Amino acid sequence: MPNKEAVLAEINRVVPEQFKGRPGFVMTLYNTSIFEEYIDFRGFTYTAVNNETGKTEIVERRKTPLLDDEKKLVKFALKVRETRVSELGRLEIAEGVSLNKLKAVVRELFREILPKYDDFKIREEQIALAEELLESIAGRQTLLAEAPTGLGKTLVYIIIGLLTHRAEMNKTFSGSFFPGMSCVEWLRMSNLVSTSSIALQKAIRTDVIPKLSKIFEEWGIIREPITAVLRKGKEHYVCEYNLNEYLLFEEDPETKEELERLEHSTDISLADPAYSGNP
């Protein structure tokens, strides 16, 4: 759910050119114009009109007018956000957003939003790297970048990966870039991040991505949480066949009991400290 500051930033009091002269204008938000109509004793009706298509939908009816009370405005704006005539928010990323909007969101994210949180600060080199990576992905190019420790490279490639994935930039790619794959397969491709260690992968999945997902939701960049999975090489997993074969010859009761318990587990990873170094 977007925070109050993010929602209020969507409100604009400037009347769109096409609606100048139309009575009852209140504000614009989520690419809709809001009009107020007083209907005698029944109170006030607020209608959202899409600025591009002109489609309308009643947002709510109130006995009293909608005033500049921040709490009420936020509640009202979130109702508009859920109507069928509203569109993406100012920073919201979804399928089909333009590269220019992605660039604008990246700049505001690194310069204005992330510095509001204790773990982040503005680094010009980091922002330059983020913009370069975004351009490379949009241009279907390969980027080889070297940067000093502490610059925040992990944050850069995770943020750009998340935003370009939510924008579904794969849909603009030609199938010729992925020989042997069906159209459905390359349209559904996820972003793959390869790291130097499983520990870093775990940190990205359990710390970095959840934290960014929360920030993105708070600022209206996304509407649904980000999901990620950890993939490791086969040498980090127990082979079920070999485990069963080993159990036939294990004589120690305690070890056998522990291995039998693992046999019925849905996730046996040798990288887990609980199992690493054990027989």
Tens of pLDDT, residues 127-178:
999 999 999 988 888 899 988 888 899 999 999 999 998 998 867 665 666 6
Q: Tokens representing 128?
A: 């330059």
CA 263 to mean position of chain CA atoms:
36
Q: Tokens representing 184?
A: 């459905």
Tell me the three state secondary structure of residue 204.
helix
Does 276 have pLDDT greater than 90? no
Assessment of whether the complete model's pTM goes beyond 0.75: yes
- Greater model confidence, 5 or 241: 5
Band of residue 268 on the pLDDT scale cut at 50, 70, 90 = low
> What distance in Å separates the CA atoms of residue 168 and residue 190, rounded to the nearest whole number?
9
The pLDDT of 93-98, averaged and rounded, is 90
Does 257 have pLDDT greater than 80? yes
- Whether 30 and 40 have beta carbons less than 8 Å apart is answered as no
> What distance in Å separates the CA atoms of residue 110 and residue 204, rounded to the nearest whole number?
18
Per-residue pLDDT at 17: 95
Dihedral of CA 210/212/215/220: which sign?
Answer: negative
The pLDDT of 6-34, averaged and rounded, is 95
The closest alpha carbon to 175, from 167, 162, 184, 166, belongs to: 184
The region, left, alpha or beta by phi > 0 then psi within -120 to 50, assigned to residue 162 is alpha
The pLDDT of 233-239, averaged and rounded, is 72
Alpha helices, DSSP H only, in the chain? 4-8, 70-81, 99-108, 124-138, 153-166, 183-187, 198-203, 209-218, 240-247, 253-263
Contacts of 254 (CB under 8 A, 6+ apart): none
Band of residue 250 on the pLDDT scale cut at 50, 70, 90 = confident
> What distance in Å separates the CA atoms of residue 110 and residue 234, rounded to the nearest whole number?
37
- Of the CA atoms within 13 Å of residue 69, those in its CB half-sphere come to 8
Q: What percent of the chain has pLDDT over 90?
A: 56
**DSSP strand pairing (32-39 vs 43-50):** antiparallel
The three-point CA angle 160-165-168 to 5° equals 130
Band of residue 274 on the pLDDT scale cut at 50, 70, 90 = low
Tell me the three state secondary structure of residue 265.
coil
Per-residue pLDDT at 26: 96
> What distance in Å separates the CA atoms of residue 92 and residue 101, rounded to the nearest whole number?
9
Q: Tokens representing 46?
A: 């607020």
- Of the CA atoms within 13 Å of residue 66, those in its CB half-sphere come to 24
Tokens 């069963």, residue located? 244
Which helix (H) or strand (E) element contains residue 50? strand 43-50
Per-residue pLDDT at 177: 66
Band of residue 278 on the pLDDT scale cut at 50, 70, 90 = very low
203-222 pLDDT, tens digit each: 999 999 999 999 999 999 99
The pLDDT of 259-268, averaged and rounded, is 68
- Greater model confidence, 87 or 192: 87
